[in-house]
Amino acid sequence: MNFIKTSLAIVILSVTTGAYASNLDNARSIENKTNTASAVSQDHIDKSADSVLAMKANIEQLQEEVKNLTIYHDHLARLVQNQAQEVTSIDQQIEDIKLTRQGVVPLMYQMIDGLKTIVENDKPIKLQARLARVNKLETMMSQADISDAEKFRRILEAYQIEMDYGTKLAAYQAKITLADNKTIEVNVLHLGRIALVARSLNGSHYWSWNTAAKQWQVIDASEGANIDKAFAIADNQVAPSLITLPVSGFTTNVESK
């Protein structure tokens, strides 16, 4: 009887142990599946979080780009507006230039005519060079490859040269025509437009320009020393000093500087 009870207890214990073991395995299996599912879910959560962060970063970048594009668009709009104003200004300047040219071109012709009159009525100081300069200006006016600004500059330059003739002491070699219509090669000296004298190449004869008669007149040999001194000053052979030169047939004291 005790044997049967003992055997029955063993059988019950075995069944109970087996059932418990089976339940434990099932629990472990469920736990593993739960852990796996949790890991997968966490991975999905992590990936979703990363995706959200990436999208947020992209949105912020796009917003910054939109902001920059807005600023650039406004900048271009201001440039276009400014360019439109510049075009209007340039168009107005072109119209003004047309009107200015209409006034400047006749003025240039008048200035050349005035310059020619000055040269023709002035003392014959470097006369051929001055007449050639005027002729060159007249030819220049019909040349299309020279701008009006350059033409005007050259005319002003010619006037400046004429002004310089009135302020300088200078000597040069040239041909002059005497009262008897004889043409000779001489050394010529002028002190501004005050005095204009000539000396033969051998230094033996002297002449002075008579403005009233518009011809060369002979100077007495006694004036030769003063004239020679003036030539020496003009050639930088001696220091500037007081000189006496005939003026339009008269004699005057002029200090050379």
- DSSP code per residue over 185-245: EEEEEEETTTEEEEEETTS--EEEEETTTTEEEE--GGGHHHHHHHHHHHTTSS---EEEE
Whole-number Å distance between alpha carbons of 105 and 35:
101
Task: Name residues whose C-beta falls within 8 Å of residue 139's C-beta, 6 or more positions apart in sequence.
Answer: none
What residue spans of the chain are helical by DSSP H? 2-121, 127-140, 148-165, 224-234
pTM comes to 0.58
Q: How far is CA 173 from the centre of its chain?
A: 42
As a whole number, the mean pLDDT across the chain is 84
pLDDT of residue 6: 59
pLDDT (tens digit per residue) in 206-243: 999 998 889 999 998 889 999 999 999 999 999 988 88
pLDDT (tens digit per residue) in 129-150: 999 999 999 999 999 999 999 9
pLDDT of residue 36: 82
Query: Does the pLDDT of residue 5 top 60, yes or no?
Result: no
Q: Which of residues 98 and 255 earns the better pLDDT score?
A: 98
pLDDT (tens digit per residue) in 46-58: 777 888 888 888 8
pLDDT of residue 28: 77
